[in-house]
Amino acid sequence: MSSCDDSTLRRAAPEQAEPRRSWEQQGQAGLPGFVEGRYFDVLTANGLARALSPNPQEGQNRLHAVFLDPAEQALYPDWDQATARMVAGFRESVGTDADDPGFVQLVGELSLSSERFRQLWARHDVQTREGMPTLIRHPQVGDLTVSREKLAIGGTDGQLLVIYHAQPGTSSAEKLGLLGSLASPAAAAARDAIPPRPASPRPGRPGHVEILDR
């Protein structure tokens, strides 16, 4: 088994996402979406999913992020409950296929790096990966509650399309819409077009010479 570091885990035969049409359509509908593998690897994600959380990036592992990344942990006010559900869902996803080298490497790294993961893994809890409401504390828009739906992708080895949505007419729905606006290509282009503000001179600092017209 290869040594572990803080980089994304690499497997001999990494999973590949199915064609992107479905999850891209979710992004166009204003819904964050990404494709997740059996071991919670993010295989691909749309822009709104990346705006909702910093870690749905292609190649990132969600377990690695939620247990070892402080920025990801800060998104979940009830982090203990979120991690308990996540590990129980991970056990359900893996099933009896516990000999895969990538699985062994992931569990070994997390067991060494996270006391919380060690405790949860020792409990042997198993939970079906059903969509459940999740409270997220977002640094830009504040608290919002979203429901997570996981849809099986046919013809794959356990891949899921994960979609987040908010209850229509709620403040969470408004905040999700705001995130969609901030993450849009037009908004990004507008931010890039803003020139940087010039530094203001500071009279009186050493070496400063002020010339006055008389």
Give, in order, the Cα–Cα distances in Å from 168 to each of 33, 53, 67, 165, 175: 17, 21, 31, 9, 11
- Higher pLDDT among residues 76 and 129, named by residue: 76
Tokens of 12: 């001999």
Domains by residue range for the chain, with CATH: 21-184 (3.30.450.180)
Taking 90 as the threshold, does the pLDDT of residue 204 lie above it? no
Q: Check residues 117 and 212 and name the one with the higher pLDDT.
A: 117
CA distance 103 to 61: 11
Of 59-63, 88-92, 194-198, which range is least confident? 194-198
Amino acid letter for position 56: P
Query: Which are the contacts of 83, defined by CB distance < 8 A and separation ≥ 6?
Result: 66, 67, 116, 117, 120
How far apart are alpha carbons 66 and 85 in whole angstroms?
A: 12
Q: What digits encode the pLDDT tens for the residues 94-151?
A: 877 778 888 899 999 999 999 999 999 999 888 765 667 889 999 999 999 999 888 8
Determine the 3-state secondary structure of 117 from DSSP: helix
Percentage of the chain modeled with pLDDT above 90: 45
Residue 78 has pLDDT above 90, yes or no: yes
Q: Which two tokens stand for residue 209?
A: 């010479």
Name the more confident of 34 and 97.
34
> Mean pLDDT: which of 118-132, 146-160, 176-190 is highest?
146-160
20-24 average pLDDT score: 51
Q: How far apart are CA 98 and CA 66, in angstroms?
A: 21
